[in-house]
Amino acid sequence: MPQAVVFEQPAPLTLPRKRIRWGEQLVHVLLFIAAAISVLTTLGIVLSLLLPALDFFREVSPWEFLTGTTWAPLFLDAHFGVVPLVVGTFLISFLSALVAFPLGVGVAIYLSEYAGQRVTGVLKPVLEILAAIPTVVLGYFALTFVTPLLRDIGLDVEIFNALSASLVLGVMLIPTIASLSEDAMAAVPRDLRDGGYALGADKLQVSTRIVVPAAISGIIAAFVLGFSRAVGETIIVLIAAGQLAQITFDPRETIETMTAFIGATGNGDIPTGSIEYKTIFAVGLTLFVITLVMNLISIRLVRKYREIYE
C-alpha cells in the first residue's frame, strides 16, 4: 500500500497592499466631490429660500401670511395672505389630476397588460415625445387653442382661466403617471397573473383585481409625484390661467398660483431688499415645503413596493 502523501499545509494566502495608489485615492475624492455638488445644491436652495423668507416674516407675521385671505403685495395697501395663491395652486392641481390620473393609469394598463411588444415599441417613444414638449408651447396651446375651443362648446370661460390650463397640464402629466405606473405593474410577478387566469379570471379581472392592487403603492407614488409636478408647474398656468389672486373654486375664472406669482414677479425689476422682493422667497419657501413633503412620500412608497417583489 503506497504511503499517503502528506501535503504540507500552505501558509494562508495574504495579499498585502504593496503601496497606496495615490491616483486611485484621488479619483475617489474627486468622484465624491462631484456627488457632493447635489447636496450643495439642496443646501443652496434651502438657504436662498430661508434667509430672505425669515426677513420677510420679520415684517409680516407668519400667521397673517398663512391665514390671510387677500393677496395684494404690490398694492399701496398691501396684504400678504397666501391663501388665495394656495387655493389657486390646488384648484389647478386637482383638476389636472382628475384628467391625468385615470387616463395615465389607463395608458399604463394598456401598455403593460394588453399591447403587444411591437405596439409598445411604437407607443412608448410617442409618449416620451409628449413628455418632451416644452411647457411654454403647451401654455401657448392652452391659451390660443383650448380656451377658444371651450368657448365654442358653450362654456363661459374667461380669457385666462383655470380650466384650460388644467386640461393641458393634465395631458402633460399623462406620460409621467403612465410610465411610473407601468414600471410598478411590470414588477408584479407573472405568477400572480397566471394564478388569476388559472382560476378562470378574464383579462379585465386580472388587470383590475390582481395587477393594479399588487402595484398600488407604485401607482400611488406616481400620483403623488404627478400631483407635485402639477403644484410646481409654472409656465402653463402663468400663460393660460392668469394672474388674479382670488379664492374661487370655479375653474372658468382667472386665478393665480404660487408659481405664477413667483414667475411674474421675479421677471420684473424689483429692487433687492424690498418687501415685494422678499415675498418671492416666502411664497417660494411655501411651494418648496409642499412639494418636498410630497416627494418624500413618493420616494418612500416607491421603495416600499420595490422591497416586496425583488
Partner 1 sequence: MTLVEHERPHEEPTPESSRESRAWRNRLFKAAMLFSMLVAFGTLVVLLVDTIVTGWPAIEWKLFSDPPSTLPEEAGGRPAILATLYLGALVLLLSVPIGVLTAIYLEEYANRERWWNRFIEVNIQNLAAVPSIVYGILGLAFIVRGIGVGRVVFAGGLILTLVVLPTVVVASREAIRSVPDSIRQGAFALGATKWQVVWRQVLPAAIPGMATGSILALSRAVGETAPLIMVGAITYVAFDPELFGAYTALPVQIYNWTKQPDPEFQTLAAAGALVLLVIVLTMNAVAIFLRNRYRRQW
Q: Report if residue 133 touches partner 1, rule: CB under 8 A.
A: yes
- Cα torsion 109, 110, 114, 116 to 10°: value is -120
3-class secondary-structure state, position 72: strand
60, 85, 143, 185: residue in contact with partner 1 (rule CB under 8 A): 143
Q: Least separation, in Å, of the C-beta of 165 and partner 1?
A: 13
Residue 297 lies near partner 1 (rule: CB under 8 A):
no
Nearer to partner 1, 74 or 299 (CB): 299
Helix (H, G, I), strand (E, B) or coil at 280: helix
Q: Is 45 in the site for partner 1 (CB under 8 A)?
A: yes
49: nearest Cα among 306, 292, 224:
292
Give the Cα separation of 113 and 134 in Å (integer): 30
Q: Does 192 bind partner 1 (CB under 8 A)?
A: no
122 belongs to the binding site for partner 1 (CB under 8 A): no
> Whole-number minimum distance, CB 251 to partner 1, in Å?
18
List binders of partner 1 among 64-103 (CB under 8 A).
Answer: 102-103
Is residue 174 close enough to count as binding partner 1 by CB under 8 A?
Answer: yes
User: Cell 416627494 appears where?
Assistant: 295
What are the φ/ψ torsions at residue 255 (nearest 5 degrees)?
-135, -175
Specify the long-range contacts of residues 68-75, CB closer than 8 Å, at least 24 apart: 69/247, 71/245, 71/256, 71/261, 72/245, 73/275, 73/276, 73/279, 74/265, 74/276
Q: Tell me how far, at minimum, the Cβ of 171 lies from partner 1, in Å.
A: 5
Site string for partner 1, 240-259 (x = CB under 8 A): -------------------x
The least distance separating partner 1 from the CB of residue 238, rounded to whole angstroms, comes to 8
Residue 144 binds to partner 1 (criterion: CB under 8 A): yes
27 binds partner 1 (CB under 8 A): yes
Q: What does the block give as the cell for 188?
A: 408584479
- For CA atoms 184, 188, 190, 194, the dihedral sign is negative
What DSSP state is assigned to residue 144?
A: I
Contact between 157 and partner 1 by CB under 8 A: the answer reads no
- By the rule CB under 8 A, 135 interacts with partner 1: yes
Dist CA 152 CA 24 (whole Å): 67
CB 89 within 8 A of CB 238: no
148 binds partner 1 (CB under 8 A): no
- 38 forms part of the interface with partner 1 (CB under 8 A): yes
* 239 contributes a contact to partner 1 by CB under 8 A: yes
- Contacting partner 1 within 196-225 (CB under 8 A): 202-204, 207-208, 225
Contacting residue, 2, 16, 134, 154, with partner 1 by CB under 8 A: 134
Q: Should residue 282 be labelled a site residue for partner 1 when binding is judged by CB under 8 A?
A: no
> Cα separation of 254 and 277, whole Å?
24
